[in-house]
């Protein structure tokens, strides 16, 4: 069996002290295999944002272990953690997080610049990523010249361009209209069919319907973890390679 992309064991996160202590996560365990597509759901205060921050190596748990492709995140110093974050995780945020006054192309090139990729290769990979999300004709446009849906597709291209092990999306359709939401979710569906591992944080049932698996959090605990059939109209899904064929 291949090494899971994500493996968390007994994760807990406590904020504050004394009477002000808040238990955001309470012994969460979760495994995500390569090629899976997982929606993590929960109401406000359920712990899903805290879990997302830990999975994205943006926060550390109070206790428990977290491994990315077998690497224990807790054993890494800040420099190695930054390298892992850059190479292994592609982020898509609700607010797009694009750099103003930089073209779509330059925004997509940015993580590769941090990773030390040469200029010619950066350009070629960024152009290919933008073409993949349907924006080959918008590469010179700045964020304020793009619609919300187009900005989010630039963000998806930026997340993909380093060929990460995991695409981690936090409420990626929260600021989009219905048509743009459909476009972005179709891209996620196609990426997963091609083998990309996706974890999406959402409170919207129609977004979670696109995932292969839905994990529900209540009060910092996983209360449900189930597989589901593809959403109507979604492309055929590749088999999740959980066991050798």
Q: pLDDT digits over 3-34, tens only? A: 999 999 999 999 998 888 999 999 999 999 99
- Please tell me the predicted confidence (pLDDT) of residue 229: 83
- Please tell me the predicted confidence (pLDDT) of residue 239: 44
- Please tell me the predicted confidence (pLDDT) of residue 147: 95
- Please tell me the predicted confidence (pLDDT) of residue 234: 59
Structure tokens belonging to residue 234 = 């979604």
Write the burial class of residue 173 (CB in 10 Å: 0-12 exposed, 13-18 middle, 19+ buried): buried
Tell me how far apart the alpha carbons of residues 195 and 109 are, in angstroms, rounded to a whole number: 23
- Please tell me the predicted confidence (pLDDT) of residue 216: 97
Domains of the chain: 6-227 (3.40.50.300)
Regions of the chain where pLDDT drops below 50:
238-245
Using H for helix, E for strand and C for coil, what is the string for 116-178? CCCHHHHHHHHHHHHHHCCCCCCCCCCHHHCCHHHHHHHHHHHHHCCCCCEEEEECCCCCCCH
- Please tell me the predicted confidence (pLDDT) of residue 232: 65
Q: Is 46 helix (H, G, I), strand (E, B) or coil?
A: coil
- Please tell me the predicted confidence (pLDDT) of residue 2: 83
- Please tell me the predicted confidence (pLDDT) of residue 165: 93
Residue 229 per-residue DSSP state: P
Do 143 and 154 form a contact (C-beta atoms < 8 A)?
Answer: yes
């Amino acid at each position: 069996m291949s090494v899971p992309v994500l493996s968390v064991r007994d994760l807990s996160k406590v904020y504050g002290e004394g009477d002000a202590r808040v238990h955001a996560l309470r012994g969460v365990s979760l495994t995500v295999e390569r090629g899976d597509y997982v929606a993590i759901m929960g109401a406000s205060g359920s712990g899903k944002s805290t879990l997302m921050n830990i999975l994205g190596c943006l926060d550390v748990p109070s206790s428990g272990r977290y491994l990315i492709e077998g690497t224990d995140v807790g054993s890494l110093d800040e420099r190695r953690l930054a390298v892992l974050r850059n190479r292994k995780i592609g982020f898509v945020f609700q607010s797009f997080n694009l750099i103003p006054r930089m073209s779509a192309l330059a925004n997509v090139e940015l993580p590769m610049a941090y990773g030390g990729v040469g200029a010619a290769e950066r350009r070629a990979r960024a152009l290919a990523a933008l073409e993949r999300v349907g924006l080959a004709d918008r590469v010179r446009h700045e964020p304020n010249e793009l619609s919300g849906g187009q900005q989010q597709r630039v963000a998806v291209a930026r997340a993909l361009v380093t060929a990460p092990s995991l695409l981690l999306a936090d409420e990626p359709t929260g600021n989009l209209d219905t048509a743009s939401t459909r476009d972005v979710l179709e891209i996620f569906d196609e990426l997963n069919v091609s083998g990309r591992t996706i974890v999406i944080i959402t409170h919207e049932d129609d977004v979670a319907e696109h995932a292969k698996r839905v994990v529900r959090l209540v009060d910092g605990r996983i209360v449900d973890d189930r597989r589901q059939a593809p959403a109507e109209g979604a492309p055929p899904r590749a088999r999740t390679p959980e066991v050798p064929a």
